[in-house]
Amino acid sequence: MQWLIMAGGAPSYVIILFGLIAIAAAAGFAVRPDTRKLPYIGALCAAVLFSTLCGVATDLVAVSHYIEANGEQLGDKLGQILVVGIGESLAPAILGFAMLSIVALVGGIGFRRLAR
């Protein structure tokens, strides 16, 4: 988890914040199922999704700027740096989609209780 935050950079904090709020809302739905809560939870999930996509894009831009600024000095290491940079750029996706998975799981408990 610590690596994901470090590799993802500043966007990771936004994803965590939105993700925790969405998880809390889903937990509230699981405890007291009410269909009126669903649009709110859906909007929070959209916020997590879009911040995740923004985080990946931001990290990919950072990698491309680094390669552009240091391209001549990188030489044989260009491919390695590109692959590692892309890998680190996917850290926000892992973090955000994990948060959304937790929201879906906890929300599923609410739907199960709502069906009763």
Average pLDDT by stretches of 10, the chain with 116 residues: 90 97 98 96 98 97 91 85 93 97 98 90
Q: pTM for this one?
A: 0.90
Exposed, middle or buried, 87 (CB in 10 Å: 0-12/13-18/19+)?
A: exposed
Q: How many CB atoms lie within 10 A of CB 115?
A: 7
